[in-house]
Amino acid sequence: MSLDALKSAVPDYAKDLKLNLGSVIGNSELPAQQLWGTVLATAIASRSPIVLRELEPEAKANLSPEAYTAAKAAAAVMAMNNVFYRTRHLLSDPEYGTLRAGLRMNVIGNPGVEKVDFELWSLAVSAVNGCGQCLDSHEHVLRKAGVDRETIQEAFKIAAVIQAVGVTLDSEAALAQ
């Protein structure tokens, strides 16, 4: 199926989500690789089988094989990092922040695509996963690389809408059983 199929699956009570989904993907000013990498990474991060199943084919068709793999890698490494760094940040004992992480995250240093694109996808996944420390870190790298706030906000708008659509459709599927 597709973006259109996903929009048509959104129930009437969530019409705003349907409109926003069409807007943040269909009217995005992001370059195709940034857009579809963000879509794929956040669809994975949403944990919604429906959303991933509907958006993955379009993402794959719009991304190079390297970018497709890198977007999936961003979702994977940030699934780990967001839990680790969010937990370390939330613990009241600041000593955890001085300990070595000891987790492999080599893909961040060599993602196989432009560093800015990977950072944008990582930021979007961090928005879905709610890790403030990771959001700050990736936003800082993006801003230092000259990425404007509007581009960064575009990525987390996509994340917000995809997450909301996933929650809504998965809830409806659960209620229908």
Active-site residue list: 131, 134
- Which tokens go with 132? 């403030």
Whole-number CA gyration radius for the chain: 16
Distance CA 93, CA 36 (A): 39
- Which tokens go with 54? 């509907």
Closest CA to 161 of 23, 12, 13, 11: 23
Residue identified by tokens 């997450």 is 163
Q: Are 166 and 56 in contact (CB under 8 A)?
A: no
Closest CA to 118 of 88, 136, 143, 138: 138
